[in-house]
Structure 1
């Protein structure tokens, strides 16, 4: 339809140009007669004039017919586009409905299991193709830390998820910490096809100075550059599962496995961002980054007032050394509870709910929550994270507090991938499930963005 319309439009343009040429030729005949001051055309001129007039009329007819055909095709194409747009809208609506339906397929307690579908496809047990179709529309969001326990149907080792049918749709999840600190960092997708991310950095800058006199030398300092290296690391794990467990479990067993793996992956990512050593396949976490600022709080009789001044010192160091403001304070929940428990000489709390319009409070309580913003201190949001270390110092009972400009941290994470490997346990009807993904992290762009407060003043508090 489109090509035909284009050809008709081009043909009409050519016909219009031909008509203009005929009119110009006919006008030249009358112009010549006027120049020679003749009232009538010569016989041969008159004959040519009439012939040109007939040709112009024919071109007019041709243009009218082309206009009609172009109009018809344009209207038809417009209707076709409307129909196509309508069909696309219906298709999108149907896809949304199907997507919702497919999402419900893998909800808890309805008998559908991603893990079962994945195993059936790779074991060539999907005769009707339904499992493969569901997998095409289902995104796998699972990562894991290495764990090598085998699961079978023995009670206590997976057996509570097969008959008898008592409370089969409910289970107690293992409590795990989240990734509150990691979520503070600037998150970006990991670029494909690389095992190392290099970020250019200005190591030494230029200079300016007062010109001592006209025509005197102007300050000149060469800029030096460097780069920050963030190697790509792998988080991977596997779990061997009996085929009988996949076939006979009345619950979505993938929910049991992958919810736990995902939760543990969040914890391990958080730990890497905070305390990764930079060796043995780990990223270089914030605490291991060379050049971060430290504030030592040494005190045999620590108090909230003294800690408050140390946090103020950390805030000013980010301002002074990074030349930008810090954005957040991160601490362990026990340290925040220590602040919440503090009272003045009259037994009044020093950290009170911000809804009460407190006066002369060292901090305000924003929410009774975990692993998120719980309040404010020094005008900065306070985030609690149970992955902050609590076993530091000589007595291995000290924690730390971080005051940081979180936007200077960079965390790159890949998509999540999973595999089902039936071959390794084929002799025992065992299927190996593997999940893996990649990440890279750096806090070395601006190390002075992070100030760590630590020392004997941050021993485990008593309540």
Structure 2
């Protein structure tokens, strides 16, 4: 099989891999719009998408290797045509090196300023093989006549205009963002197409049932009543104006800008859900105080159980059991640093009795990071404030029922606008990212938060 046939085969394989990857991505987007989506389903689909993505990269590298090999073969073929003399022809007189009375390649009496030498240097750099031959003969002549003076060397600094820096644009370092770990763990709903509020009916006066006092006596009756819960639809948006030169003459500038805007959108949505005044999780959760001047993980854990008991006590028969503990990464690592000999007396599924939970070793923002001793999954989110309390150095741990953490989003959010006309007079391109969303934790008020001096900046002492 020829190289051309191999390249055609590799291109077909790459196209197939790209189509397969797109199908997995489309399946992931469709899955995310399902309100009954589970963490396991999402993780499995993401793994399938990433596997397809890796296959695209492998096929792309294989094609690039074959194309590079073909280019090299063509280059060698052209070089051979230039350098191989006819079999019966004797070498030309000026192609044979002689020592003695033979004229030098570059003679000062004929070219006092060295213009021919400079022209050959430039021509050799551009690929002129005859110029390269003359320069090679000149160097051989120099070695023969002045070999003892040719031991000096120069570095790349002597050729500032020829040693060109290479910019690895595919390895640019994006700004690190907190992104949206908690938002991705919440119960997802599709945002209605119209309206700027989401209205939910909450029963606030319930029916009454009691034992009948006597036969034919009136049975208990209580008129039901509800109260509307109004959830505002919020708009998160950001923009960046880029010069047309940067987009048209740069390498991947627009993609870099959009990637940063998309991740900034996720960070803003998540931090609003956690910290917004009045309706954010930190402001609606019932406090569980942990006050301790010398906090330890062993002392904190009972507070976690107290908070979870409060969650179930508030929800009663509406509790799904799908609980979450949400904490800052500094708190999760502090809990992992603890060493001790005591362990829970009641074992839990999936947790070794002698340990204080289990770490799943997932990367930040990739879902559940681990489980606590009672089996509660942990979400690590660095949008949690760490400047709380009198000393402005405390954080909080949230305990919630995932099914009562509601987030409405458009399946296609965030949206992207690329506008050229508004900035046309300045040769600018306006890039805007925006999205609508709504959230609430008050459909069934239940959330708990652990806070206090026991959650100051942690020290990693093994306790």
Same fold (TM over 0.5): yes
Q: How does 1:283-322 map to 2 (within 5 A)?
A: 284-289=279-284, 292-322=285-315
Once the 2 structures are TM-superposed, how far is the Cα of residue 259 of structure 1 from its aligned partner?
Answer: 1.2
1: CA distance between counterparts of 2:232 and 2:224?
26
Distance change in 2, residues 1:269/1:356 (3 Å): closer
Q: 2:383 is matched with which residue: 379, 383, 387?
A: 387
Give yes or no for the alignment of 1:367 onto 2:368. Answer: no
The two structures, once aligned, show a CA RMSD in angstroms of: 3.1
Q: 1:190 to 1:401 in 2, by over 3 A?
A: same
Q: TM-score by structure 1 length? A: 0.59
Structure ID, larger Rg? 1
- Residues 17-55 of structure 1 deviation map (CA, whole Å, 9 limit, x = unaligned): xxxxxxxxxxxxxxxxxxxxxxxxxxxxxxxxxxxxxxx
| Aligned-pair CA distance for 1:419 | 2.2
Q: Say whether 1:246 aligns with 2:239.
A: no
Determine if contact 1:365/1:376 at 8 Å carries over to the other structure: yes
Give, in whole Å, the separation in 2 of the partners of 1:385 and 1:349. Answer: 27
- Give the SS at the match of 2:454: helix
Task: Work out whether 1:358 is the aligned partner of 2:352.
Answer: yes
Aligned to 1:76: none
Q: Which residue of 1 aligns with 2:210?
A: 209
CA distance in 1, matches of 2:168, 2:437: 38
User: Map of 1:199-278 to 2, 5 A cutoff?
Assistant: 199-249=200-250, 251-277=251-277
- The whole-number CA distance in structure 1 between the counterparts of 2:402 and 2:283 is 16
| 1:328/1:383 contact within 8 Å kept | yes
The 3 A distance-change label for structure 1 pair 328 and 222 is same
C-alpha separation between the residues in 2 aligned to 1:220 and 1:380? 40
- 2:419 partner SS: strand
**Distance of aligned partners of 1:376 and 1:222 in 2 relative to their CA distance in 1, 3 Å threshold:** same
Give aligned pairs, total: 300
Post-superposition shift, 1:422? 2.7
Q: 1:285, CA displacement in angstroms? A: 1.9
TM-score, normalising length: structure 2: 0.59
Q: Report if aligned partners of 1:293, 1:447 keep a CA contact under 8 Å in 2.
A: no
2:427 to 417, 420, 429: 429
Are the counterparts in 1 of residues 288 and 451 from structure 2 also a CA contact under 8 Å? yes
> CA distance change for structure 1 residues 411 and 221 in 2, over 3 Å: closer, same or farther?
same
Mapped pair 1:407 → 2:403: yes
Deviation at 1:356, TM superposition (A): 11
Q: Determine the C-alpha separation between the residues in 2 that align with 1:417 and 1:376.
A: 35
Q: Matches of 2:438 and 2:275 in 1, distance apart?
A: 14
1:442 and 2:440 aligned: yes
Give the 5 Å matches for 1:113-124: none
User: Does 1:452 find its partner at 2:445?
Assistant: no
Deviation at 1:330, TM superposition (A): 1.0
- How far apart, CA to CA, are the structure 2 residues paired with 1:356 and 1:187? 27
Q: Post-superposition shift, 1:374?
A: 2.1
Distance 1:452 1:247, change over 3 A: same
With over 3 angstroms needed to count, the CA separation of the structure-2 counterparts of 1:441 and 1:355, relative to structure 1, is closer
Q: Distance in 1 between matches of 2:391 and 2:335?
A: 22
CA spacing shift, 1:270–1:214, aligned 2, 3 Å: same
Q: In structure 2, which of residues 368, 371, 388 is the aligned counterpart of residue 376 of structure 1?
A: 371
